[in-house]
A and B are shown apart, each in its own frame.
Chain A
Amino acid sequence: MTASKFKWVRLVLVLLIGLLAFSPVARIQPAQAQNPVATTGVVCTTGNSPNPSFSLTAQSGYIQMPDMNTMYMWSYGLTDGSFQHPGPTLCVNEGDTVTVVLQNNMDYSLPTSLIFPGQENVLVNGVLSQPEFDGSGNLTSLANSAAFGGSVTYSFVATRPGTFIYESGTDTKTQVPMGLFGALIVRPGLGADHVFDRPDSQFTPTEEFMALLSEIDPYQHAAWAIGLTQGSNYNLNNYRARYWLINGRGFPDSIADNNAPWLPSQPYGALARIYPYDAAIHPLPAVERFINVGSEEYPFHPHGQNGLVIGRDGYPLEGPGSEDLSFEKFAVNIGPGQTWDVLFKWHDAEGYDPVTNPVSVTVPDLANVAIGMFYSGSPYLGHQETMPPGISTLNQCGEYYIISHNHALFQLDAFGQVMSGPITYLRIDPPQPNTCP
């Protein structure tokens, strides 16, 4: 049915500002973050290997929803930075002794903690992190917590490469849906351009992407925004997600650059920008690190390529003799708390060319079709056609846009707003040299 007008106006804003202000350094990052930050791809916050140390502050803030709603959130900020959602993506090396200091600046003076699923022997102030119980023996926290205004120091040895989650371990049914989570990437000894310590997990370093998938019930967030009593009385039996996000953003914000200035608390974009496979000049695949921090499975569907699933939950898919147990998928069905590591590429299989190898059907006049906002006007990679009068495109240089989205399709329509959920694109630039900005 009819798409609401203002959303498209906003989309134009999002993209045009992105195009015009293509400068990658839009936001000052703390010293240990990568600088300059690329417009697409994983944004790593790093420390000094082999003893990286991070300081995260649990706090409240606001993020923007795809329908222009504003959402009260709890999330993490680097202690010398500001609130962001999701929490900073921490990148460390295999074998590092990782220290994370959690500062508690939670609203309503709530206690909070961190858990690191997949990490073994997590220590708190030097002793094994343990669950906490109240005086009646009820479990209150999966890990030692910090009181309001205080801090707690976690440390562990990152023994296995892969993609992991960190999240709150305290009152998890509340604190995790409210936004207290982030990604942890452990790079293998084989090198930062590998996912695992397997040669067949190598990828193109400039084509490393993250799809952290989450959901929001706005009534839960609204209750906590009003007050401690209202929040505490929110009945989880009424839980119903209405927004589904990718890297903390809905579409079209999801395809805006990393650190887009109009999304000050949502620094991570999800556009996957790659070049076509070429045996000589671009032989290695891209990697997408899928992470589900929600409460149900998210069947993510990238068009136009089968992702090769090479790992789950930080384990390479291999047999006891290192046999390759990887498998291809066109729907990557990620369960709650899971991470999936997926290699992918796009191959110009037919090599269509307007002169030497045209498509085997007549190309209809553009006046006789409905034209998509990313369409170049031409079937051919690297080519553009002039649009009919009154129609313009966001296509820059004849690049291809191939969509990726969650295939539980109702999740794409936040509160009934069409095309607003976990949607992003695979942007395929023509081989270089090209005219792409």
Chain B
Amino acid sequence: MKKQFSRRDFLKVAGGAVFIVAGASVMPQFLRRTLLPEQVVGATDNFDLFFGGTDGWFYMPPEPAIPPWFPDSYAPEPFNTYIFGFRNVTGMTDAQRENQRNKAQHNAPFFWVDQEQELKVQLTNLGLAQRPDLTDAHTLHWHGFRNVIPFFDGEPTGSIAVPVGQLFTYVFRPHDPGTYMYHCHVEDVEHVTMGMTSLVFVRSLQNSLADGTLLGTWTHHTGDRYAYNDGDGSTYYDRENALFLSEIWAKGHWGDAHIQESDWSEFKADFSMLNGRVHPDTLLPNSPINLGASTHALTIQTDGNGDLLWPIEDPNGLHIEHQELQYNPHSSLITCNAGEKVLLRFANLGFREEAMTLAGIKMKVVGRDATLMKGRDGTDTSYMTDTILIGAGESYDVIFEAPAYQGPGLYDTYVLYNRRYTQDSNLSTGGAGGQRTEVRVYPGTLGPQQYLNQHPDDSAS
């Protein structure tokens, strides 16, 4: 049987598109179809978030080099690695949004929603500035969303994808609290490892109980937050941090910038990242946070063109402007006061199993893959550990209780690192370059956490 090669297919191939639709000769099923009027894009659809998919450049520590792939000779200073990614373009003018082509960030924005609340995420495809020959579509696939319909799953063979310049709005009605992840599912090995990935979570309905509600022996107070609808307060937390694991294969990134096909079966993790950075950059502040716009996503402040502001280290002292981290906006430093309960939301969209170890503090696994650790009959299956063994596509919700402050410094430091030491550093001096960050325990001097992943040196307004 021969593929019917239509004019439309020809145009797509001529344009370098990837969404070649399998042609079929006449099938009897077509005769049974009901013709319905075609609906059109409505500019009036409301949405909660608006993301744009595009390419860009970001920064990894340039030493040691991985010649000839890294640092990439095409990269504009001070960057060195070609990426694809999503940007939060909610509230931007059309001109500002268009300006974000070639200004992707890695990882993509964290976003969240309350259980049972409808969330609409509009996606546009801004195109790839470095690769005008490549007109890949994009999607937003919420990894782990239960009972999804293909229309909102963002998996391009089973439904639809968003071509360059087009719009599509995803609707999510989450019924299951916990930590998930999202990514573009078009050419997924490529678009995922190139950086169109991040973490998303659903806050539990239990957060909204009336003040004084009894959960067994636990009394709920307004403002108390829980990872899950646990029924007993066992997943209460004071602070929360998202810790998103991903990887860079330098040759693959170089290949995409230099119009070279990659054999992805040769994949190798040259850099293993936490929230899109490697140690010690993981300890630096977030890029300036736009608090007012952070209702559904951790939103970075932008300039008049819509471009991201970069993080500033020690804003009141040394004032070091980290321009190179403009497109690695997320910190993964964890800070808390002694005695507080801290929720760590881990998700891994790298391709390898990682072993995240918190030395000196016990962690309690309260959820995995957005599921409370309980059997169907209510048996508690949570457990204590020092090391989270987290595979590709898995998520873990972990709560630790910060130990007593011992001093004498401003805070006590505990290291959170990948016990797969090969991924803990990239052989650079001092063991830096990999999945490593710190938990800093203060004596009670930290104010309440205002937003996800808050860093004490952040500027936020």
Q: Which residues of chain A have a CB within 8 Å of any CB of chain B? A: 1-3, 5, 8-9, 11-13, 15-17, 19, 200, 241-242, 297, 299, 301, 303-306, 308, 317, 319, 323-331, 333, 346-350, 352, 354, 359-375, 379, 381, 383-386, 388-394, 396-397, 400-403, 407-416, 418-419, 425, 435, 437
Contacts and interface: CB of A to CB of B under 8 A. Distances in A.
A375 B150 contact: yes
Contacts of A370: 17, 19, 137, 156, 160-163, 186
Nearest to B185: A403
Interface of B: 1-4, 6-9, 13, 16-25, 27, 29-30, 32-36, 38-42, 44-45, 118, 120, 134, 136-137, 141, 143-153, 155-163, 166-169, 171, 173, 175-176, 180, 186-190, 192-193, 261-267, 351-353, 368-371, 373, 375-377, 379, 381, 391-395
B52 to A, nearest CB: 16
A330 B265 contact: no
29 contacts: A5-B13, A303-B148, A304-B145, A305-B147, A323-B377, A326-B375, A326-B376, A329-B368, A330-B143, A330-B144, A333-B353, A333-B394, A349-B146, A362-B40, A369-B161, A371-B19, A383-B34, A386-B30, A386-B33, A388-B8, A392-B23, A407-B391, A409-B188, A410-B193, A410-B264, A412-B189, A416-B265, A418-B187, A437-B29
Contacts of B151: 359, 379
Given A12-B1, A305-B146, A396 B377 contact: no
Which 6 residue pairs of A and B lie closest in terms of their CB atoms, listed nearest first? Answer: A390-B6, A407-B393, A416-B263, A362-B42, A410-B267, A324-B375
Contacts of A324: 375-377, 379
Given A331-B394, A369-B168, A415-B263, A1 B18 contact: yes
A372 B161 contact: yes
Contacts of B187: 1, 418
B152 to A, nearest CB: 8
A299 B394 contact: yes
Interface of B is mostly: loop
Contact of A371 (B21, B146, B152): B21
Given A3-B20, A333-B353, A410-B189, A325 B158 contact: no
A402 B148 contact: yes
B139 to A, nearest CB: 9
Contacts of A402: 148, 150, 153, 155, 158
B153 A304 contact: yes
B171 A361 contact: yes
Given A299-B353, A303-B141, A360-B171, 9 more contacts: A13-B1, A299-B393, A304-B147, A306-B176, A365-B40, A375-B157, A396-B29, A410-B266, A425-B158
Given A348-B147, A363-B39, A373 B169 contact: no
B3 A413 contact: no
A375 B137 CA distance: 16
A375 B160 contact: yes
A418 B189 CA distance: 8
B166 A368 contact: yes
Contacts of A414: 265
B265 to A, nearest CB: 5
Contact of B146 (A1, A306, A369, A372): A306
A331 B158 contact: no
Given A333-B391, A360-B118, A394 B24 contact: yes
Contacts of A327: 368, 371, 373, 375, 381
B369 A330 contact: yes
Nearest to B147: A349
A361 B375 CA distance: 37
A294 to B, nearest CB: 14
A418 to B, nearest CB: 6
B21 A392 contact: yes
A374 B376 CA distance: 35
Contacts of B19: 370-372
A408 B351 contact: yes
Contacts of B156: 370, 372
A409 to B, nearest CB: 4
A17 B27 CA distance: 12
Given A299-B392, A327-B371, A8 B153 contact: no
A72 B4 CA distance: 34
Contact of B264 (A329, A372, A416): A416
A375 B154 CA distance: 12
Nearest to A329: B369
A409 B247 CA distance: 12
Contact of B23 (A12, A365, A419): A12
A392 B134 CA distance: 23
A416 B262 contact: yes
Contacts of B120: 360-361
B158 A328 contact: no
Nearest to A381: B149
A364 B261 CA distance: 32
A325 B152 CA distance: 32
Contact of B29 (A389, A397, A403, A412): A397
Contacts of A391: 6, 8, 21, 23
Contact of A369 (B45, B163, B193): B163
B208 to A, nearest CB: 21
Given A297-B353, A325-B375, A304 B146 contact: yes
